[in-house]
Amino acid sequence: MSVRNWLLAGVRGLGLAVVAIAGSVTLFVLSVVSIALTVIGVGAITTPWVLTAVRAWANWRRSLAAHWGGVRIPAVYRPFPADLTPGPLGHPRKTGLMLRDPATWWDLRWLAVDMTAGFVTALLPAVLVCYPVEGYVIAAGLWRAFSHHGEIGYWYGFVPVSGQLSALGAALLGTVLALVGMRINPLLLTAHFRLAGAVMAPREVALAARVEELTESRSDAVDTSAAELRRIERDLHDGAQARLVAMGMSLGTIEALMESDPAQAKAMLARARSDSAEALTELRDLVRGIHPPVLAERGLPDAVRALALRLPLPVEVTGSLPGRAPAPVESAAYFGASEILTNAVKHSGASRLWVDLSYDGGALRLSVTDNGRGGADPAGSGLRGVERRLGTFDGVMAVSSPAGGPTMVTMEIPCALSSPKTSSSSATDS
């Protein structure tokens, strides 16, 4: 149970209930009217604009479902042909394409559900926050405004309030409701998003989208693994292997010079020893690039702190994990953090960085924030590479980087932790 999650779910639920009534009702009415007017030609002009707004609204709610409830709702709209151009009366061809797309009708069905059942499921978390407060206010003395001469002037739930004793009963009921809310508020919010997902993306469509997503992430993982193997092979060939070959040749020369020129042989032995040390250093660096020893030995929080200490900017690392994530997940999170921190140092113009680690709702979450100029491009090659790496584990990445900053990149990877032992949670400044 968490007071913070209880309150947060209540506030988010209230916001969703308000937008469900305001936005979904408005767009549903506009859609019905516009589609009905297509029979007289007016709707052919207005419908593409209205349905585009519906799609934008639905995509925004998909984003909230992923970030607030951990529910991923695929968008399965049919793509428009490349030669689609507006005519003198707007987009009549686009109107037909959108109306023949099943996803359009699923969106309209969702609007109808969102402003009814969706409104109720979103409002319940807010009720479980506000209604207990009302019970406490009644017990504090508000009951006197409703009750006169011992008469029942107010009902709080099933408690008839007629005096201070019954008002305390209302406070007791409010406490019970608050405790229940702490337990189920996040679940109610998730239920709201799952209801939306069931209506916006039927099961067979969601499964097809999931298969496509897994196929793409598998292809990305294979490509990444092949590129990593080529990098390792290249680094071995150009670095440690070349030094070891040179050292072998030097040892052969030393063997020939041992009797004829001992001084020269001794000097070459010193160079061979130096080459062996450099080859060992390069091999260690190569292994560290594959899987850092501190990550294997100490876990993700300490590995990120060690990474932060090597950066030229001050970095504050906070957070704790109640155990160890699977090694591939730790590796993906570590190298994702490394890429994001490196990009921030190179391109953001920041003077300070913050990294926060947490585990909540069955997901590992790592956020990197900087106080730089902002304007980071989520479609850039570095961030896209991080997103592909996370996608292998069903992970997601969100980027918030308004002009002028700050920039915040959040990675979230669903996983189970293997140990109940809590890792260190102290902050580290580099």
Q: Name the β-bridge partners of 317.
A: 355, 428
pTM: 0.51
pLDDT level of residue 25 (50, 70, 90 thresholds): very high
DSSP string, 284-328: HHHHHHHS-HHHHHH-HHHHHHHHHHTSSS-EEEEE--SS---HH
User: Residue 112's closest CA among 32, 52, 191?
Assistant: 32
- Residues 222-239 have a mean pLDDT of 62
Burial 270-291 (b: 16+ CB within 10 A, else e): eebeebeeebeebbeeeeeeeb
| Whole-number pLDDT of residue 31 | 92
CB 251 within 8 A of CB 272: yes
Over residues 329-354, the pLDDT tens digits come to 888 888 888 888 888 888 888 888 99
pLDDT at 154: 73
Chain centroid to Cα 30, Å, comes to 33
| pLDDT (mean) for 217-243 | 62
Closest by CA position to 58, among listed 193, 205, 229? 193
In CATH terms, the superfamily for domain 295-429 is Histidine kinase-like ATPase, C-terminal domain (3.30.565.10)
CA–CA dist 213, 394 (Å, integer): 9
pLDDT of residue 200: 84
The pLDDT-based confidence of 236 (bands split at 50, 70, 90) is low
At residue 154, what are phi and psi to the nearest 5 degrees? -160, 140
Read off the tokens for 210. Answer: 């999931």
pLDDT at 10 over 80: yes
Residue with tokens 């979103």: 122
The answer to whether 44 touches 138, Cβ cutoff 8 Å, is no
Residues 56-100 have pLDDT tens digits of: 999 889 888 888 888 888 777 877 776 666 554 456 678 888 888
- Grade residue 29 by pLDDT with cuts at 50, 70 and 90: very high
The yes-or-no verdict on residue 181 having pLDDT over 70 is yes
Query: What residue spans define the domains of the chain?
Result: 1-201, 209-290, 295-429
Q: What's the pLDDT band for 263 if we cut at 50, 70, 90?
A: confident
Does residue 239 register a pLDDT over 80?
Answer: no
How many CB atoms neighbour CB 349 within 10 A? 13
Confidence check: pLDDT of 425 > 60: no
